[in-house]
Structures are given as C-alpha cells and as structure tokens.
Structure 1
C-alpha cells in the first residue's frame, strides 16, 4: 500500500507539472461526476503533446484521460490529474484507487487468460478469478467467466479506423447474484486490447480506449 501511495503521488506530480488543456479538461470532467457524464473532446494533437501512453476512461458518471506513468513488471499504473489510478495487467483492470467505488484486488486461479492473450483462447474458454471489494467488505469473491469469439468490427479511435476482433467475456459472481458481459476489442495479430468495456464489480463499470496504441505492444 505504501509503495502504491508513493508511486501515485509521484505520478500525479509529474502529470500536473506537464498539465496541458487535455489533462485539465480531464480533471474538470472527473470533478463534475455528480452532474453525470460530461463528454470529453480529445484530439490527436492533444494526445501527441503528452509524452506518455494514454487511455480515455468512461464510468457511469464521469470521463477522463489517464496516462501510464509507471510499469512494474506486467503491472501498469495509469494516473489521472485528479489522483484516480487504474492498475492494469494485460488490458484487464485489477485494482482502482480514487473512484467512488473501487476494486481492491484481483487474482487468478492459475494462468490469467489475459496474460496468455485473448487471441489465443479457444471459443468457450472458461476461467475463474477472485476479487476484493473492501466497501462492504467483501474479500475473495469468485468471478467465473466464459469467453466467446465475435466478428471483426471497425473501431474508430481519434478519427482512425481499426479492424479489431471482439472477444466477449460472460462474468458471473454467484455470491452477489451478479452477471454481466465484458467486451474486448483486440488487434488480431498480437491480441493488444485497444478498447474494452469492463464490469469490475456490480457498481463499477469502465469503458477504456487506448489513445496511443502505437506506444503499446502486446506482452
């Protein structure tokens, strides 16, 4: 926890030092969460002006841009100017900090299918992971999932079209009686997730778009 806190403070400091209109707009949009989602207009020029890989994240009540300011092995730290932090592994959000509802931990039973690469999974592949949600608190909730391949779809990111394979993940948290479908749009050649819709808990849904896919490579 101490390492995460120190890393987050450093990352936020770096981001604010180089704050441009895009990052300020992102901060203002997150602050306006109580007013509902305020569309954040992002241009390629604004994204290029920030020397970090970036993602646009939309929740049910807010929208903002986060920059990848640190990576420890396969764990990525994505930080917003308002001190919100997403920790991601291979395109899956495994922990959040600073949101109204947070995911406090994720661990897999065996190999993570995201580590393996979604493009490598056979249709109908199943997996189990456990999550922690301290608001409750609920620790060690089993999340059963089943993956299915969909067709190739065109996804537009910053006015550029990408032909991406869509992979759906049907998730079930029996203890909470919660079921949902996560969606991942991946590059067919290497499995890099360029866009996703992730139901992390019953109260936490994120849509994530890679704004600088040229800076990212699949693991």
Structure 2
C-alpha cells in the first residue's frame, strides 16, 4: 500500500490544506493523480508561497519551473523505491531520484527514463571523499529523440554559495555536472546545491537533454520518512 499526498490551490497565492489517500495498484495511483491535478490551478504568474504556509503543512513540497513557464508549486505525490514523484496542475509530473530528474510527464519533450550504467554519484553521496565524480548512464526522451542514448558526466565542486529560499539565505554547497551525449555530439551542464550537513540536494537546475528545456527545482520542505 502506498500513501499518496494530494494538494489543491484556490489561487497562486493561497495554499489549501493538503490531505492523504491510501491507494492500491499502479492504475489506481495514476487515476488518483490525474483527478487530483484537475483540482489545482496553474497560475499565469509565478506561484509564491510563504514560509508560514509551507511550515503549516507536514507534506513535502517544492517550486518547479520548466523552461519559460511560470514557477509552479508542486507536492510529493508518493515515494516509491527511492523515487519521488512530484505533481502539479494539468497532470504534469516530475520524478526525482537523489536529486536527479529521471522522468517527466506533461511538458512536451519529456524524459522517458534514466538508467545507471555506473553508480550515480548523487546516490552514492557527493560529499563523501571516496565517491567517484564520473558517471555513465543511458537516457531516453519521449518524442524527438527515440531510443536509449549513452551519456557520460563529470561532477565538479565549487564550494559554498548563498541561495535564498522562502526569503531565507542558506549556505549550500554547489556542484556542476558536465553531461555529454556522444551519439548526438552534444553537451550540457546541470547544477546542484546541496545541504552541507546532510548532502541532500536542495536546489537543482537540470537540462531535460541537449537543446531541451531547463528545469529549475527547489525543495521547500523535504520528505521525512
């Protein structure tokens, strides 16, 4: 049985109380998510939620911006096998695994999946001295680029940087990831900001793929088991 966390919004400035449902079966889960998405309102302007509103609810939440679209408020729909599935309005879904975006749905040219060929440094722990900073994997996209493409990446640490979240400045550790897709002769850069004490990704800017939309994701309230 998987616990599903749902959200509704009356306006871009007001967050209504969140509630939970217990659902069984993948088809039931997706049906519930689709119905829940209809309750949300996707604002024409950036969503701004106060720290007080975030603190009042026990559920994990985040800001999400895809490409030039307005900033949206998303909540954790469910956690399964280490993957976090975040939902906004219009059935749009972003799936993260240890801070890496591994699947999207509803944004046009979506990430279909990400497969690890070697252990992902984000999963091993970027703050561990023994963690390799090189990664190999495979990615697939839903529309233009068909099939799996081999990818390689190298992480680099850039020290501490001040990031303001919910009007509060925080000292986070910045890492960049230079990603290459040899078959497409393409490269792009992802950026991660980590909490120094836990190593958790608090904020990340990731390209969906070569010449694809930039996804900006900021955790407002982290998931706690």
Separation in 2 of the partners of 1:178 and 1:4? 36
Equivalent residue for 1:162, pick from 170, 173, 176: 170
1:11 partnered with 2:9: no
Separation in 2 of the partners of 1:119 and 1:163? 15
State the TM-score, normalizing by the size of structure 1: 0.81
Contact kept in structure 1, 2:121 and 2:131, CA below 8 Å: no
Q: Higher strand share goes to which structure?
A: 2
1:212 paired residue number: 221
Q: Higher helix share goes to which structure?
A: 1
Separation in 2 of the partners of 1:196 and 1:42? 19
Equivalent residue for 1:143, pick from 128, 145, 151: 151
1:46 paired residue number: 53
Deviation at 1:28, TM superposition (A): 2.5
Q: How many residues align?
A: 199
Separation in 2 of the partners of 1:5 and 1:97? 16
Contact kept in structure 2, 1:56 and 1:64, CA below 8 Å: yes
**Stretch deviating more after TM superposition (129-138 or 77-86):** 129-138
**Structure 1 segment 41-80 matched on structure 2, within 5 A:** 41-62=48-69, 63-80=71-88
Separation in 1 of the partners of 2:196 and 2:205? 18
Deviation at 1:216, TM superposition (A): 4.6
Note the alpha carbon deviations across 1:63-121, whole angstroms, 9 max, x for none.
21111021112011111122100111111110001112200010011322121112226
Equivalent residue for 2:117, pick from 106, 109, 113: 109
Q: Unpaired segments of 5 or more residues in structure 2?
A: 1-24
**Stretch deviating more after TM superposition (160-169 or 120-129):** 120-129
**Stretch deviating more after TM superposition (133-142 or 156-165):** 133-142
**Stretch deviating more after TM superposition (123-132 or 177-186):** 123-132
Contact kept in structure 2, 1:123 and 1:148, CA below 8 Å: no
SS of the aligned residue for 1:7 comes to: helix
Separation in 2 of the partners of 1:134 and 1:15? 21
Q: Unpaired segments of 5 or more residues in structure 1?
A: 30-37
1:190 paired residue number: 198
1:34 paired residue number: none
